[in-house]
Amino acid sequence: MSSGAGKVVCVTGASGYIASWLVRLLLGRGYTVKASVRDPNDPKKVEHLVKLEGAKDRLHLFKANLLDEGSFDSIVEGCEGVFHTASPFYHDVQDPQVELIDPAVKGTLNVLKSCTKSPSVKRVVLTSSVAAVAYNGKPRTPEVVVDETWFSSPDLCRESKMWYVLSKTLAEEAAWKFAKENHIDMVTINPAMVIGPLLQPTLNTSAEAILKLINGAQTFPNASFGWINVKDVATAHVLAFENPSASGRYVLVERVVHHSEIVRILRELYPTLMLPDKCADDKPYVPIYQVSKEKAKSLGVEFIPFEVSLWVNLGWARSDVGFRSLGDHPFWY
């Protein structure tokens, strides 16, 4: 496809998991991509990007810091679309405000402020999360259907010390307020836990959650999460930019699965794996729930089945080399 031929777009946090696939897809569609990274001279951050097909002629790397106001001005200038994906995602935090909340909220506003200075920008696509959707105190049981009208409660997040969830909730809340006040055409993509093949040489947090199950875990967590393939997430971003009628939020969840079900599927796919056979606690399993796919499908997202995502993630396991540690690159694409 070449629907992006002659068009220039920006991707922030381009070395990240979702963003790397987004850059690959945009280049494949003919776009010229202005990509921001924290350190363009770090091979671990950019080598996988500069090797992408089309990168030599149509990928331009820029240094930018989320917390430096104005650092995105020159990157956004001349772009028709801005894809803001940059936001930290990890669980082991010492200072939530500094490590998660400030980069998410202030970083998002800094990018949006840069967009207001460039008349070329027609639409902003913001990578939010289902974290900003599903945590509002309402029960999430098998008969419940979560959709785009749900918004997470910042107060609940603070009380429960769900700092990543709080960062994404506050960032999206601030983005919508700023976009409406400044007449920015913005769409948000709200994916669940993202898995699928990696382009970058480091593990993302979602994939690590799966790999821990095969790397000697004695138990599996008593937790239920939504899952989505990274290729579907990247595709949704591009569709949200290219489709003139796209608007509002798009929640991306192929399926909500309890960790016991993940273990069961892995055991069927790979019978020789040493997998945990008991839950981390004796409490009733955290229930699963439903997430509406209606709006995402209307955008054109087709949803790769969860089992396929797992199979692709762990396809390397069939090799004669055996299993590698979490520090190694485990995926093929």
The pLDDT tens digits for 87-137 are 767 667 788 898 899 999 999 999 999 999 999 999 999 999 999 999 999
For 246, other C-beta atoms within 10 Å of its C-beta total 19
- Provide the pLDDT for residue 1: 44
Of the listed ranges 110-124, 267-281, 296-310, 318-332, the one predicted with least confidence: 318-332
- Provide the pLDDT for residue 295: 98
User: Does the structure show a pLDDT above 80 at 306?
Assistant: yes
User: Does the structure show a pLDDT above 60 at 324?
Assistant: no
The pLDDT tens digits for 18-51 are 999 999 999 999 999 999 998 898 888 899 999 9
Alpha-carbon distance values, 142 to 109, 146, 282, 289 (Å): 36, 11, 20, 4
Task: Locate 1 and state its tokens.
Answer: 């496809």
In the numeric block, the tokens 């671990």 are attached to: 44
Which range has the top average pLDDT, 98-102, 178-182, 196-200? Answer: 178-182
- Provide the pLDDT for residue 315: 53
Of all residues in the chain, the percent with pLDDT exceeding 90 is 73
- Provide the pLDDT for residue 90: 62
* Catalytic residue list contains 161: no
Of the listed ranges 79-93, 134-148, 231-245, 308-322, the one predicted with least confidence: 308-322
SS3 per residue for the chain: CCCCCCCEEEEECCCCHHHHHHHHHHHHCCCEEEEEECCCCCHHHHHHHHCCCCHHHHEEEEECCCCCCCCCHHHHCCCCEEEECCCCCCCCCCCHHHHHHHHHHHHHHHHHHHHHCCCCCCEEEEECCHHHCCCCCCCCCCCCEECCCCCCCHHHHHHHCCHHHHHHHHHHHHHHHHHHHCCCCEEEEEECEEECCCCCCCCCHHHHHHHHHHCCCCCECCCEEEEEEHHHHHHHHHHHHHCCCCCEEEEECCEEEEHHHHHHHHHHHCCCCCCCCCECCCCCCCCCCEECCHHHHHHCCCCCCHHHHHHHHCHHHHCCCCCCCCCCCCCCC
199 CA to centre of own chain: 14
- Provide the pLDDT for residue 189: 98
Of the listed ranges 22-36, 164-178, 179-193, 314-328, the one predicted with least confidence: 314-328
The pLDDT tens digits for 54-93 are 999 999 999 998 889 999 999 999 999 999 998 767 667 7
Query: Which member of 7, 34, 45, 168 is catalytic?
Result: 168
The mean pLDDT of 130-145, rounded to a whole number, is 95
Q: What predicted TM-score, i.e. pTM, was given to this entire model?
A: 0.91
User: Does the structure show a pLDDT above 50 at 327?
Assistant: no
